[in-house]
Amino acid sequence: MTGIDDIALNFSPASLTLLNAILAIVMFSIAIDLKPSDFDRLRRAPKPLLAGLISQFLILPVLTFGMILVTQPRPSIALGLILVAACPGGNISNFITHRAGGNAALSVSMTAFATIGAILLTPLNIALWGGLYAPTRAILQETQIDPVQIAITVSLMLILPLVLGMYLNLHRPSLTFRLRRPLQLLSMGIFIAFIVLALAANWEFFLGFAGAVAGLVILHNALALGGGWAVATLARLSPFDRRAITIETGIQNSGLGLVLIFAFFNGLGGMAVVAAFWGIWHAISGLVLASIWSRTEARK
């Protein structure tokens, strides 16, 4: 019987490029609801942004390491959990925060700063926490992220759509008013379609091996969401900001995680299944949470 570390998932470079393009459309659909004035409050009061980044790059890796010590999973699965925790937030978090009635401007700022910071902090966190756990230390390789590639990715799927959307909203508000609802529905539809197609392409693998990681990923995601909420609460942030930090911490850029796994860890099966299952589960948990929160308006 094929072991989990022997499988190769059907996530080609083309599919990851398509995912980036989809997320750029999602980002644009959010940006047409934002104005430069939305970011003024963050410049005057950076506390929410700092709390969010601490939650993302410090609290989540610590919680992940503690979970691994308690559950003792297979080394490749443990390293996959560490790698996912070391990744920045994915910009689907911006869409989910927007749907949840949270601070979308804070979510976008966190994603932008975290993605740029990931050039240094992602390989640092992988090396630190992976090196502290003996079973993962044996398979840990030196991880380097190409800053140029990260800059291109950030520009194409985050910064460029953000600037274009905000510019359009500022100078052509009547057009963005007409585009807003159809574009949000379209972006949501194509994102769900991508998840369904990715799952279908790897259904045999998920059927055979998802059981080995499902419980761990669900627990890990719950710890991420809970950790984000706890940090925001301890920082005495408003419910409006708390929703953004909770979601941003619980939604990881698993697409980047898969790229790193295939580029630097030879697509190690345990790691790849963790990142792929995360990519599906965090969307489900995030949308469920957004649906619950959207029923009540958050105090700013």
Q: What is the pLDDT of residue 149?
A: 64
Q: What is the pLDDT of residue 91?
A: 67
User: Minimum mean pLDDT among 9-23, 41-55, 267-281: which range?
Assistant: 9-23
Which residues are CB-contacts of 161 (< 8 A; sequence separation ≥ 6)? 24, 25, 27, 28, 31
Is the confidence at residue 79, as pLDDT, over 50? yes
Q: Which position has the token pair 């459309």? A: 25
27 contacts 286 by C-beta, under 8 angstroms = no
Choice between 203 and 285, residue whose per-residue pLDDT is larger: 285
Q: What is the pLDDT of residue 202?
A: 67
Residue 259 C-beta-side C-alpha neighbours within 13 Å? 19
Given CA atoms 124, 156, 60, 285 in this order, what sign does their dihedral have?
negative
Q: What is the pLDDT of residue 61?
A: 97
The single-letter code of the amino acid at 73 is P
- Average pLDDT of span 81-100: 87
The per-residue pLDDT for range 198-233, each reduced to its tens digit, is 667 666 666 667 677 889 999 999 999 999 999 999
> 13-31 vs 160-171: helix axis angle to the nearest 10?
30
Q: What is the pLDDT of residue 292?
A: 92
Is the confidence at residue 236, as pLDDT, over 90? yes
**Measured CA distances, 142 to 7, 18, 65, 121, 264 (Å):** 22, 28, 19, 14, 8
Return the top range by mean pLDDT from 63-72, 159-168, 189-198, 282-291: 63-72
Q: What is the pTM of this model?
A: 0.78
**Measured CA distances, 245 to 105, 237, 265 (Å):** 11, 10, 30
> CA 202, CA 36: separation in Å to the nearest integer?
42
251 contacts 96 by C-beta, under 8 angstroms = yes
- Average pLDDT of span 131-153: 71
Is the confidence at residue 2, as pLDDT, over 60? no
Q: Report all structural domains of the chain as residue ranges with CATH numbers, in order of start.
A: 11-292 (1.20.1530.20)
